[in-house]
């Protein structure tokens, strides 16, 4: 009986590896910002053990622990109303970012447990993180934000896979952007390591707060990077401790 169970276990592991590889390649081929493909890759690559590691990391500081317990939601967002706020506020700049890029706030999905809250919270705050971190909505901006996520929600197989996907797309489709994308990855990782945790913040209480004040409170500020810093960060991502 034991040999049969071991065989079944190996077959399941092999099938999972094939599924991850397939979904990874599909998202490499897909346009940037294919959220359906991202969701499918997340389902395939995030196993129970990795989910426990991420939740343990997020629970290690008070803000994250409280968010996982209380599961606060953003609620309905009226972009036009936020766009009436003073132009220096988080709410105005977020609404302006969404309207100029033709984005709509993500629909409010139901949350059944801690894992579903984690996914919902990340999805509905994604563009707020774009604004607060200063990451543009272009290819380099997405890579920069993914580097930030990798530092702030650790250790996440998904964000490492997304970074790998975007570097693969750079190699296949945009090799001339190699330097800009590597700089973006480095900047995002370093910014995320220096900044205070963003996960669990109740952003809807900060709409009227000046964006610069929010950034100062979260220790979000750009620093120039060097070639040596690029190499050090990429080495650390490739060989985590």
Q: What is the pLDDT of residue 48?
A: 84
Contact call for residues 157 and 204 (beta carbons, < 8 A): no
DSSP labels, 191-227: HHHHSPP-TT--GGG-TTSBHHHHHHHTT-------H
Q: How far is CA 182 from CA 18, 38, 54, 143, 168, in A?
A: 28, 21, 25, 9, 12
CA distance 51 to 119: 11
Q: How far is CA 51 from CA 44, 116, 119, 151, in A?
A: 12, 11, 11, 16
pLDDT in tens, the chain (241 residues): 666 666 566 666 666 566 666 666 666 666 666 666 666 666 667 788 888 999 999 999 999 999 999 999 999 999 999 999 999 999 999 999 999 999 999 888 889 999 899 989 999 999 999 999 999 999 999 999 999 999 999 888 889 888 988 898 998 899 999 999 999 999 999 999 999 999 999 999 999 999 999 999 999 987 666 555 555 555 555 555 4
CA distance 159 to 153: 9
Q: What is the pLDDT of residue 107?
A: 86
Residue 10: count of CB within 10 angstroms of its CB:
10
Sign of the dihedral defined by the CA atoms of residues 19, 24, 26, 27, in that order: positive
Structure-token pair, residue 184: 């973006």
CA distance 188 to 195: 10
- pTM, entire model: 0.81
């Amino acid at each position: 009986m034991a040999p049969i169970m071991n065989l079944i276990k190996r077959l399941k592991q092999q099938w999972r590896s094939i599924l991850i590889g397939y979904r990874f390649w599909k998202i490499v081929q897909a346009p940037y910002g294919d959220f359906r493909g991202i969701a499918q890759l997340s389902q395939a690559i995030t196993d129970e053990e990795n989910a426990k590691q991420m939740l343990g990391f997020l629970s290690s500081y008070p803000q994250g622990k409280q968010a996982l317990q209380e599961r606060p939601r953003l609620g309905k967002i009226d972009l036009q109303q936020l766009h009436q706020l003073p132009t220096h506020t988080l709410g105005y700049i977020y609404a302006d970012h969404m309207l100029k890029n033709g984005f709509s706030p993500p629909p409010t999905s139901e949350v059944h447990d801690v894992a579903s809250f984690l996914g919902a919270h990340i999805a509905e705050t994604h563009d707020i993180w774009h604004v607060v971190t200063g990451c543009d909505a272009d290819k380099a901006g997405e890579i920069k934000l993914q580097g930030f996520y990798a530092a702030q929600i650790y250790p996440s197989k998904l964000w490492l896979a997304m970074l790998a996907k975007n570097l693969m797309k750079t190699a296949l489709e945009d090799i001339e952007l190699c330097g800009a994308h590597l700089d973006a990855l480095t900047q995002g990782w370093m910014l995320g390591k220096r900044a205070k945790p963003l996960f669990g913040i109740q952003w809807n209480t900060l709409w009227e707060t000046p964006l610069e004040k929010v950034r100062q409170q979260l220790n979000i500020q750009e620093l120039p990077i060097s070639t040596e810093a690029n190499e050090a960060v990429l080495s650390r991502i490739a060989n985590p401790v």
